[in-house]
Amino acid sequence: MLIYFHKNKCRYERGQLAPFFILVLVVLVIMAMVTINLSKVAFIKTDSSNAADAGALAGGSVMASVFNSVAQANSQLEASYWEFYYLISIEFALAISIALILNVNLLNSDVNASSAISQACTEPCSAIPTGTIASILEMTVQEIFTGIFIALVAGIEVSIISFSIAQYYYYKSIRDSAKDGREQAILTAHRLALINSGIGSKLKDGSPPEDKELNQLIEDMRKDPEIQKRIDDYGWEALKRQIKNNYRKEFSKFIENLGSGKTYTYDWFDGQSRYHNVEVTVDTQEVNKFRTKITFMPWPVAAAALEVVSQAILRFAYAIGVGLLIPACICSLCEKMPLIGAACAACKYALCAVATALLAAGLVVNILEHTIMVGVKLVLLATVWAGMLPAFSVENDSPDLHVTLCWLDDIVHNRKFRVDTWQDHGEGNLGLWTPTYPQAHSYSVVDFRGMGSIYPPVFRHDASIIDVDSLAASTTPASTDPCAAKLAYVKDLEAQRDDLQGKADYLSGEADRLTQQARQLRSMNAIAAADKIDATVQSSYTGPATEAAKQAGTLTSNILKYKADNAECSY
């Protein structure tokens, strides 16, 4: 065409620029169409990225709250354990003291019983006072000290069993609450991701048409081969549902009915015969494995040992022997009388022989009891007392009713929360041109560890984005102010320093509190328990607090040096 105009340019004087304008117009139209298409792709990508970021931050924040709640409940678990251990330590100390007093009384009773045995046949009347003292001492042990001792041991047994069961159910409630919190986090992530995906701006207001109107609408749409193919592939009801989903009211119902599933998809068919699909996938580890600190001795074993301890300690025979010495004494008074002397002497020796046998048998039994059995029972008491101290850290998928739980050491979880979103928008029909849009995929990963921990309990879990897809990350414009980046860097360092200092202050406070508890235990002669607390303070509190304070000091020095090296910026 241009050659024709060039050869005949002298014959035509008008419209010689028209071909050039036509070419320019075509180029401009193509550029406009490409621009529109690229902007549409960019908008879809932005919606996808916003949805992933919003969902991940929302879900991660809920998970941070869940872990903070677990840490707070764990502090109550630990406090309950130490309170329980202090109380049973007092009971153990009292029980051991009563056992020792009981043993001293038995020794005195045995000494008097030995004296009564030596005088039983030679001077039965003189043996009565010493035998009576031995009998009174043994009766005192039986009626008072043994009763107190058995009551204390029974109280310790009840305390251990009730505390272990209470800790079990409290731990079970913590687990259930954490699992429910995870499901709530997933639900929240889905809702926020879908709400921020831009679906609402693409849907129609109001409610969808009734079924009769929908059926007629689909019948009219079947003239389009693409619609007929969709009906053949997916069915009439699927198309009807997708047309209904083109209304915001249906989208609101969908949001309200979401659960804690891993993936949810919302798809719809718009008025321009285009199919749209938005899918959200949420991924975070299960909260079902906990690392727990338990005592050395399971509570059923402790209860069985205390049952042995609480059995009656003594068998008494002194009172019966003294009862026989009294008629023997009477008989000894008449053994020198004529006529009845021989009978009285026979009565005396018969009675004193039986009394001596009873006193000797009681002495042997009591010596065996308070030298062997009392010692065994004291050893069992001390073993159970030490067995109630924290010993093992175990991982479990479900609570174990047969152990005594001290506290939670940790939840086995990587503290990550990820949301992936996919958006797929069908081809649009613009007459001469049918634009197609690629599927947009974005993801966002949140770490909600923060400065928190389950043990020692630090309630500072916090959510922050640590990873996004590269295209989404590249859409964030960088600041042109050189000082802006430096200011942001300093603020980040200061935030890290404040977090470390806060952690150090918290751990130092907990170390002081536990040290005070150790002092109280030492005042009650619970040396082993106090040493255990001191070791825990050093390993879990004092050491980490010193390290955190040291890191905070290092950051302070780095901040000051950085500010001095970049003094041109105002901080």
Assign residue 62 a region: left if phi > 0, alpha if psi is -120 to 50, beta otherwise?
Answer: alpha
- In the predicted model, what is the mean pLDDT of the chain? 79
- Give the pLDDT score at 31: 56
What is d(CA 253, CA 263) in angstroms, rounded to the nearest whole number? 17
Model confidence band, residue 146 (pLDDT cutoffs 50, 70, 90): confident
- pLDDT at residue 161 in the model: 93
pLDDT at residue 178, rounded to an integer: 95
**Alpha-helix residue ranges (DSSP H) falling in 10-123:** 18-119
CB 312 within 8 A of CB 146: yes
| pLDDT score of 474 more than 60 | no
Q: What are 72-128's pLDDT values in tens digits? A: 999 999 999 999 999 999 999 998 888 888 777 777 777 777 777 777 777 777 777
Q: Which band of pLDDT confidence, cut at 50, 70 and 90, is reported for residue 472?
A: very low
Residue among 122, 145, 119 nearest 130 (CA)? 119
11 versus 127: the higher-pLDDT residue is 127
- State the Cα–Cα distance between residues 250 and 243, nearest whole angstrom: 10
- Structure confidence by residue, pLDDT tens digits, 509-568: 778 887 887 787 777 777 777 777 787 777 777 877 888 888 788 778 877 877 777 777
Residue 215, CA atoms < 13 Å, CB-side half-sphere:
3
Burial state string for 357-373 with b = 16 or more CB within 10 A and e = fewer than 16: ebbbebbeebeebbeeb
Beta carbons within 8 Å of 370's beta carbon, 6+ residues apart? 102, 103, 106, 107, 110, 313, 314
Span 148-193, pLDDT tens digits: 888 899 899 999 999 999 999 999 999 999 999 999 999 999 999 9
CB 446 within 8 A of CB 57: yes
Percent of the chain residues topping a pLDDT of 90 = 25
- Mean pLDDT within 399-411: 89
- Asked if the model's pLDDT at residue 326 lies above 90, the reply is no
Distance of CA 125 to the CA centre of its chain: 73
Which positions ≥6 away from 367 have C-beta within 8 Å? Answer: 110
Which of the 8 DSSP states describes residue 338?
A: T
In whole angstroms, what is the distance from residue 488 CA to residue 175 CA?
Answer: 39
